[in-house]
Amino acid sequence: MNSRRNYDIAFVGLKPGTHEFEYTIDDKFFVEYQEQDFRNCTAHVKLTLDKQNGFMLLKFEIGGKLEVTCDRCGNNLPLELWDDFNLVVKMSDEPDVMNEQEEDPDVYYISKGESHLHIADWIYEFINLSIPMQRMCSDDEMGGPHCNKEVLEMLKKLEEQKPSTNPLWKGLEKFKDLGDN
């Protein structure tokens, strides 16, 4: 079972200083979240936790890979994950109020009575943030190894027929812009 408890860290029992935790995350991890637009995920998460007096510094290093659907041709596109995220966890008497007020997204408050860090949601968030924004085969690899070449050919033809690439239409658009002002 992929229990969320596997992602709870009993930090009260940790000595001051740094501690490392490693996780391998696959598609099963995401089942309890909303449906994802990626699949075949094998993500490696290395968490370095620096326990200080009254706060903790967390560094999540995300690596691994997953597959998305290419925005251009619809084929399966493998992507590498590679990013890291820092988080400061502070103890507070009123963590909910503090989290509401805190403007720094890298600072998070937990109750002074809390004994565990629940990191599943952070892992979820950081893996999602590690996915490159551009989910398509690059232009220069037009029809690269993972692309659907037939779809690309068709898109190229459509692109050529677009009015905006026709100089006559471009001229007319200029007038339209003037009219709007």
Question: φ, ψ for residue 105 (rounded to 5)?
Answer: -65, -10
Cβ-based nearer residue to Zn ion, 56 or 73: 73
Q: What's the rounded Cα separation, in Å, for the pair 89 and 55?
A: 6
172 vs 158, 159, 160, CA distance in Å? 20, 19, 18
Least separation in angstroms between residue 75's CB and Zn ion is: 5
* Binding residues for Zn ion (CB under 5 A): 70, 72-73, 137, 147
Amino acid at 52: Q
Least separation in angstroms between residue 70's CB and Zn ion is: 3
- Residue closest to Zn ion when measured from CB atoms: 70
Cβ-based nearer residue to Zn ion, 79 or 91: 79
130 CB-near residues (< 8 Å, 6+ apart): 43, 62, 81, 82, 83
32 CB-near residues (< 8 Å, 6+ apart): 4
Cβ-based nearer residue to Zn ion, 46 or 146: 146
Least separation in angstroms between residue 4's CB and Zn ion is: 35
Least separation in angstroms between residue 37's CB and Zn ion is: 15
Cβ-based nearer residue to Zn ion, 51 or 72: 72
Least separation in angstroms between residue 55's CB and Zn ion is: 45
Cβ-based nearer residue to Zn ion, 69 or 92: 69
DSSP single-letter state for residue 94:
-
Cα 48 to chain centroid, rounded? 19
